[in-house]
Structure 1
């Protein structure tokens, strides 16, 4: 028997954490305590409820308990569960491995802040990794056999545990976002806050870009550039010909641009994000009058598998799942002589060395940690800024 939860000890630790780091006080006191025999230490769920092991509280000194309080609330402030939900399908091997990557993101900052974390904590140095990265980056760098030693709950890795489904109360998503932004403002208003927390606060409060509007603007600008070219045609003679007997004047024609969409279908791409971005591009093309055989969609990983003209998104056929090389897709797309090439990708790909002479290239980068392509490529971050560090 582990005995009853020593709430006095637990809440004294939270009070100490809030006293020592007052910029975290609002977030810390927003957590609801839930006594639980199912957790080994402490863990949080999406509703900001903190599930606590009585045995862990009994054996842990108050200074360490205060550090664990800060660790758990950091998962929620950094929106780890929301970011885990947005990971590409191929980047989610299991929730406990994600938990390790998230602990690496948090604990390097807490150790730099000289917090007395338990001796069995994980940090980037545990795996020979550099400090200061996002968990999405650590997830790709961790050794393949790594699994979590403890479970910080669905408020961290996003996978709901059975004991988290019961009970009421907690914090709504809207309230959680308000707490994050209030905490970020308090951090940026102080001069004694560690660099890791200041980086997080800056990202949290920076203006959010509506990626749909940004993508729409980029596509429209490229189409306007392509449509600016004019040519002469005798198919519809100029109306001025009537004034010149025996002379047929050509009419100026503004051609409708041809568009090629290269869809990255490598194993690291997630279907929901891909479908959303593809639907947005299709909507823009429809509004500006580009459709039918003017739009070619190419399905590409390290090779082009499908290339076809489509009238609607429903006609798109995606195939792949291997490695990634969008240079192959762009080169194939240019064979269709488009004026605009749009690449939907997570950015984990090599790019052409030089811009094509006859087309504008737009990269719609899907995912929170997508690397940037060369500067000459028009770039849109589909997921926008991450609530990271």
Structure 2
């Protein structure tokens, strides 16, 4: 029989030690079952508890296990696990170990055999997705339930309570946000919190947009816009001409977008960082379907130094190192033999910009500096972290 007094005393101790987690801790519904090895959670914020585990675990360690289990849910481990490649997600034991490493580096009261990054020679303070490639298979894997690794376990259907109590995804998002707000208030009133929780709260309250997705979306939209600029051409006569002898009808032409990438090579830009960003941009262009001889890269500081059509990042030559004026690079791209449909400018942003939008061209700025003023509103701006 489950010793609820002991279990709930441990939850009270956990909430007292980390009061900003109280809302989340008391949102968990307890489901007793002998099928779970220790404690585990499902996606619906139900906490499955083995009575024997409660009887043999000190209250201060039980309090840490409470925090550990609710951390899986607050950090949306099951949602993040769903985004892993299928071949990786299939090994849910390794996923669970990596998730435990993300959580346990901030927990000191857990049992001695708790999994921590140091056990695998890994540093503290990383996300489970970073730990996962370095986690070896182990026969003694934890089992924290679908609330962690995402795979439903047989013991998660145990008991009538499990069918009745359920936290919806919308309610879970509200709990996460309220917990993050309470953590920030705790920091202002009482001082520091574990670093992992601080980073988590910052991400919840000030989410960062993946710049790769943002850039892909911007390029895809611009490419769609350029492809829609259909025109008539006599290079390939229309098939309708067969119906009218001695009359040549033009056909419609849908151009493939041409892209110019203007790279800021002034003294304030590091070449290693630029090549890394260029590699990402090349991947974005390939994903959108733009490649081969459709991409021209211009290296520019206060003057244009190299202009090359490229098919791989290895073809790029970055010259420069002087002042910064991206207007020169944009103007040079516009005056080239093949006017681009899209201009992507990679810069730290410490540059003047053209006064007006060039006709028939979309301009996208990728800013690699966080504290610089944004370009004019007609330039779509992506901040690259």
Map of 1:206 onto structure 2: 206
Equivalent residue for 1:140, pick from 118, 121, 133:
133
Tell me the equivalent position of 2:313.
352
Indicate if the aligned counterparts of 2:232 and 2:253 stay in contact, CA closer than 8 A. Answer: no
1:258 positional shift: 1.3
Aligned with 1:101 (options 83, 87, 98): 98
**Alpha-carbon spacing, 1:353–1:213, altered in 2? closer, same or farther (3 Å):** closer
Alignment check: 8 A CA contact 2:125 2:195 kept: no
Aligned to 1:36: 33
Match runs of 1:3-152 below 5 Å: 4-110=1-107, 115-143=108-136, 145-152=137-144
Residue from 255, 258, 262 that aligns with 2:256:
258
How far the C-alpha of 1:217 sits from its partner, in A, is: 2.8
2:156 — aligned with what?
A: 164
Give the TM-score, by structure 2 length: 0.60
Q: Post-superposition shift, 1:202?
A: 0.6
| Larger relative contact order (CA 8 Å, sep ≥ 6) | 1
SS in 2 for 1:50: strand
Is the 1:84–1:157 contact (alpha carbons within 8 Å) kept by the matching residues of 2?
A: yes
Q: 5+ unaligned residues in a row in structure 2: which ranges? A: 236-251, 259-281, 297-311, 318-332, 345-365, 369-379
User: Contact conserved, 1:41 with 1:150, CA < 8 A, in 2?
Assistant: no
Residue number in structure 1 paired with 2:294: 338
Structure-2 separation of matches of 1:225 and 1:259: 6
Q: How does 1:159-238 map to 2 (within 5 A)?
A: 159-166=151-158, 167-168=162-163, 169-191=165-187, 192-207=192-207, 209=209, 215-221=216-222
SS in 2 for 1:43: strand
TM-score, structure 1 normalization: 0.59
- The answer to whether the Cα contact below 8 Å between 2:146 and 2:153 also exists between their aligned partners in 1 is yes
Partners of 1:201 and 1:153 in 2: how far apart?
24
* CA-CA distance at 1:88 after TM superposition: 1.3
1:219 Cα deviation (Å)?
A: 2.2
1:127–1:40 Cα change, 3 Å:
same
Cα deviation for residue 259 of structure 1 reads 5.5
Q: Distance in 2 between matches of 1:101 and 1:32?
A: 25
| Distance (whole Å) between structure 2 residues aligned to residue 209 and residue 8 of structure 1 | 44
Does the C-alpha gap of structure 1 residues 35 and 157 become closer, same or farther in structure 2, counting only changes over 3 Å? same
- Could you tell me how far 1:221 is from its partner in structure 2? 3.3
Shift of 1:99: 0.4
Q: Distance in 2 between matches of 1:43 and 1:232?
A: 65
RMSD: 4.2
Q: 1:355 to 1:206 in 2, by over 3 A?
A: farther
Instruction: Give the total of aligned pairs.
Output: 268
Q: Which has the larger radius of gyration?
A: 2
How does 1:312-327 map onto structure 2 within 5 Å? none
